[in-house]
Chains A and B, each alone.
Chain A
Amino acid sequence: MNARRRTARILAFALLAALAGPLIHGVLQLPAPGSADAPAHANVTANYVERGAESGGAENLVTGVLLNFRALDTFGEVIVIFTAWLAAAAVAGAVSETGRRAIPVSPVVDYVIRALGPFIAAFALFVIVNGHVLPGGGFQGGVVLGAMLILLSLVLGPAPVAGAFSARHWAWLRATGVLVFAATAVIGLALTGHLFGLPAEPVLRKSLMIVLELGIGIGGGAVLAGLFFAVSGVQRS
């Protein structure tokens, strides 16, 4: 370690030590975590807990918040993850040959992963469509789906997995979340008079929510796989 590096470390330590004081002092004065009378449980939360299941349309209140009360945040989130793929595809350079080859794995691992694939996909689907009653939902299921695609890419090599669809079709798959969300927002406008609104009629609302979750899940999984493909250089745009 040269002298410059050491000075930088000492400076950084001093800075962080100076930062630690106010941070600790500050969080100690916050309402204690876990106490039921903290403001975090009073205003908005109390309303969600009391009426959220009916007005939000999901027994899983988190899903209700995500898809209904704070739909614009979730729409933004879907945009961010699509942008991540756009960015990776726009920036990724040519990668050496090694990135494109399958990593040699033992036949046992290979067999197990191929055999597990369909089960992982089924689990992803389960997580997605039960997002309104159980922990889970579009993003969580999408991550499982993406993990399956990446796992298969590791074993088979990214090229065959990426080749399952043409580059254009992959792009449409990745945009599913955004497009379904935008379509739902417009349907909401037609039915409730508010952009991103969901109709109060329970069956219709629930079906719309499941469609939304499916869109988010498929889009999320395809984006995750796309990020992996972009890094391994098989698919750029």
Chain B
Amino acid sequence: MNILATALGHVDYLVAVALFLIGAWILVTSGNLVKKVIGLNVMETSVFAFIVTTGMIDGGAPPLVVEGMEGPYASPLPHALVLTGIVVAVSITSLALVLILRVKSQFGSIELDEIVPTDEARGDADSDAVGGDDD
């Protein structure tokens, strides 16, 4: 009974944990690179939800100290952190998508099962211009 009450009180955190695990499942089991990135995004969202929740206050107002907004105010700090986190997540996602486009054009697929790195692919393409002077 006690556990149930605790769980109910922490239901916001539990939802974040569930989302985290779902995202991790997609990231780990999917062989499709785009789906992996989606899984990563689900995980990121779960962490953002978790952090925003830590600053929540029951019956509280958004942290705007203006006419008509009465305290208690939610903590502004987690909001600022999550805003930063979102910008970072956008950056990572965009770079991942650009990389996936390049993988697609080089290996013809974005399914990990179908991508077979050959020895040739491993070779350093610096070797396409060998020797010669530099100065």
Contacts and interface: CB of A to CB of B under 8 A. Distances in A.
Note whether A and B form a binding pair. Answer: yes
Contact of B20 (A23, A74, A84, A87): A23
Interface stretch (A36-44, A164-172, A203-211): A36-44
A28 B6 contact: yes
B84 A81 contact: no
Interface in B11-60: 12-14, 16-17, 20-21, 24-25, 28-29, 31, 50, 53-58, 60
A90 B24 CA distance: 29
B97 A70 contact: no
A10 to B, nearest CB: 10
A122 interface: no
Contacts of A64: 76
A230 B98 CA distance: 8
B9 to A, nearest CB: 4
Contacts, number: 166
Interface stretch (A54-62, A108-116, A184-192, A194-202): A54-62
Contact of B62 (A41, A73, A135): A135
Interface residues of A, number: 60
Nearest to A76: B84
Tell which of A27, A44, A59 has the most Cβ of chain B within 10 Å: A27
Given A30-B10, A59-B66, A133-B66, A45 B95 contact: no
Interface of A: 5, 8-9, 12-13, 15-16, 19-20, 23-24, 27-28, 30, 32-36, 38, 40-41, 44-45, 48-49, 52-53, 59-62, 64-66, 70, 73-74, 76-77, 80-81, 83-84, 87-88, 91-95, 133-135, 139, 220, 224, 227, 230-231
